[in-house]
Amino acid sequence: MRYKAINIACIVIYRAHGCGFAKLFVQIRRRLHNYHCNMTNLDIIERISKIRTEANLSARALSQRIELNDGYINRLEFKKDFLPSVDVLLRIIDVCKCSPAKFFYDDMACYDMDMQLLGKLKTLDKETKVLIDNLISRTCLVRPD
């Protein structure tokens, strides 16, 4: 089941960026396989529920906004017996004002902070980046894999 979730993640990101990103798609697929091997179909359903709740949408309201029957999201979240198609998943992510990158990030709760840190790191010179890398490597800040 986890490989299906990985493939869905790859397709979502590929479709979001268009067909001109063949090399990027392959790299993303490899990264998702390496970093998201533990993501299951249930994880996808739980993330849908999380972003729906954060968007202050009821299951019925989200179902209507993605133009499916009123019980679609309720059945998805409670029966957990199917996954949405890639197109439906993209619509869910979009309506909930989330990005595919955040949705499939290994720790959604830290996504915004991680992206802010990455943005700050990109502005630093190489020497400073090396110092920060050494600091992080020597402390307990790095989460064990």
Query: Which of 34, 22, 32, 37 has its CA nearest to residue 100?
Result: 32
In this structure, the answer to whether residues 22 and 77 fall within a common structural domain is yes
pLDDT of residue 13: 56
In this structure, the answer to whether residues 7 and 58 fall within a common structural domain is yes
Query: Which of 1, 4, 10, 3 has its CA nearest to residue 90?
Result: 10
In this structure, the answer to whether residues 126 and 97 fall within a common structural domain is no
In this structure, the answer to whether residues 102 and 122 fall within a common structural domain is no
Confidence class of residue 104 from pLDDT cuts 50, 70 and 90? confident
Task: Decide if 45 contacts 76 (C-beta within 8 A).
Answer: yes
In this structure, the answer to whether residues 73 and 121 fall within a common structural domain is no
Number of domains present in the structure of the chain: 2
Structure-model confidence comparison of residues 87 and 51, the more confident one: 51
Q: Is the pLDDT of residue 63 over 60?
A: yes
Task: Decide if 9 contacts 47 (C-beta within 8 A).
Answer: no
In this structure, the answer to whether residues 88 and 31 fall within a common structural domain is yes
- Residue 100: both structure tokens together: 């595919």
Q: Tens digits of per-residue pLDDT, 5-53?
A: 555 555 565 555 554 444 444 555 555 555 444 678 899 999 999 999 9
